[in-house]
Amino acid sequence: MMAKKQEFTYQDGDFVVYPTHGVGKIIGTETTEVAGIEATLMVIRFEQDRMTLRVPLEKAKTLGLRTLSSRKHMDDAILTLKGKAKVKRTMWSRRAQEYEAKIKSGDPVHIAEVVRDLRKRDPQVEQSYSERQMYQAALERLAREFAAIEEIDQETAAVRLEDMMDAA
């Protein structure tokens, strides 16, 4: 899934996934000197956050930077979305920590689990503000990668994902 020598596999314009920030686009590389050591940095733009990140090429792999998921892996995530929600009866603070870790993992299947488990299916059941916020964050993260793979915009991707869950 991930190339052995990542610094040579990425090109300007490629989409990549940074686990804690989601999908970004490589806009180039630059060389800079830090504490007397020359470093080559990959410049990644995260449009949704209006943020630019510079990642040292030699650290990209250890930081978890990866290419977009394959269609097969995204299909696995969609299958997870369509599954039955697993509601745990633990304290919200404990579940929130687990959900946050899954979102920050950057793995679409783990993020899909969060979306599936936090999706409000029964209009009678009230969700807390933090549950709604976490659901929205997970859905946006999953939709960004789905959109990049399908070459559609993020809003359309989010609607498609929610429609898939409704149809399941």
- Give the domain CATH number at 119: 1.20.58.1290
pLDDT-derived band at 7 (thresholds 50, 70, 90) equals: very low
What was the pLDDT predicted at 59?
85
Q: pLDDT > 90: what percent of the chain?
A: 39
Which residues span the domain enclosing 158? 71-167
Q: pLDDT of 79-101, one tens digit each? A: 999 888 887 788 989 999 999 99
Q: Looking at the 3D structure of the chain, how many domains does it have? A: 2
What was the pLDDT predicted at 124?
64
Three-class SS state of 30:
strand
> Residue 1 falls within a domain, yes or no?
no
- The pairing of beta strand 66-67 with beta strand 15-18: antiparallel
* Contact (Cβ atoms closer than 8 angstroms) between residue 13 and residue 26: yes
* Contact (Cβ atoms closer than 8 angstroms) between residue 60 and residue 7: yes
Lowest mean pLDDT among 8-12, 66-70, 143-147: 8-12
What was the pLDDT predicted at 143?
93
Helix 71-82 crosses helix 154-167 at what angle (to 10 degrees)?
Answer: 50
